[in-house]
Chains A and B, each alone.
Chain A
Amino acid sequence: NSKVIQTPRYLVKGQGQKAKMRCIPEKGHPVVFWYQQNKNNEFKFLINFQNQEVLQQIDMTEKRFSAECPSNSPCSLEIQSSEAGDSALYLCASSLSWGIGDTQYFGPGTRLLVL
């Protein structure tokens, strides 16, 4: 169904540590989204890119996360200083376009545990 690749599948960090995860979108998809899913199955949009450019991001992402989608390299999402509340499943999705035009395809996620 989806060919989005996310690594690592699991990540364990201590509070205050950096936590970095990567995403390879489906081939030919220029738009990448990151979402956070908590233990209550609640999803939160974090940031999206079109090619290397940030389209939208929420406050939390702007202040505490570092994200990029460099040309010819995996996209990455990095928490600069992990907090216990960051423990969640981080999902990457890719699409042919942003807006309402196209299906978003999701990767399997990176499950982060902050001890």
Chain B
Amino acid sequence: GDQVEQSPSALSLHEGTGSALRCNFTTTMRAVQWFRKNSRGSLINLFYLASGTKENGRLKSAFDSKERYSTLHIRDAQLEDSGTYFCAANTNTGKLTFGDGTVLTVKP
């Protein structure tokens, strides 16, 4: 079936630094969503992309359907950015296929 390969599985950053998360897709996806799971366990929407890039504050995401990947860049990481991040991709059927998540830890 459709697969979403998310990396890295865990990431540790010092405050003020940045990095990128990546999701590779084994098939052509039409759209991608990025989420962060907050301390209460709820999935918070970060981005929805059908193409191109979007930016929101210190986060920036890109999606290339043809090359079958999406990225989430975090810059100037803050302690409150810690959490588990998921990408989820959508074919034409509506249902999302999720990556396995990236556990981000931001240290002082």
List A residues at the B interface (Cβ < 8 Å): 1-2, 31, 33, 35, 40-43, 45, 48, 55-56, 89, 91, 93, 95, 98-100, 102-109
B90 at the interface (CB under 8 A from A): yes
Contacting pair A56 B93 (CB below 8 A): yes
Contacting pair A103 B30 (CB below 8 A): no
Contacting pair B31 A45 (CB below 8 A): no
Q: Which of B86, B91, B96, B101 contacts A104 (CB 8 A)?
A: B96
What 0/1 readout, one digit per residue, does chain B (57-74) give for beta carbons within 8 Å of chain A? 000000000000000000
Contacting pair B94 A99 (CB below 8 A): yes
Closest Cβ of chain B to A114, distance in Å, is: 19
B21 at the interface (CB under 8 A from A): no
Q: List 15 A-B contacts (CB under 8 A).
A: A1-B42, A2-B42, A33-B96, A41-B100, A43-B96, A56-B94, A89-B41, A91-B43, A93-B96, A95-B94, A99-B94, A100-B92, A103-B45, A106-B42, A108-B40
B84 at the interface (CB under 8 A from A): yes
Contacting pair A99 B43 (CB below 8 A): no
Closest Cβ of chain A to B49, distance in Å, is: 10
Please, which residues of chain B bring their CB within 8 A of the CB of A105?
Answer: 45
Please, which residues of chain B bring their CB within 8 A of the CB of A98?
Answer: 93-94
C-alpha gap A30/B93 in the complex (Å)? 16
Contacting pair A55 B94 (CB below 8 A): yes
B50 at the interface (CB under 8 A from A): yes
Beyond A48-B94, A99-B92, is A104–B33 a contact (Cβ under 8 Å)? yes
Contacting pair B41 A103 (CB below 8 A): no
Q: Which of B43, B44, B91, B97 has the most CB of A within 10 A?
A: B43
Please, which residues of chain B bring their CB within 8 A of the CB of A91?
Answer: 43
Closest chain A residue to B36, Cβ basis? A1
Closest Cβ of chain A to B104, distance in Å, is: 14
Contacting pair B94 A103 (CB below 8 A): no
Q: Which of A42, A45, A95, A104 contacts B100 (CB 8 A)?
A: A42
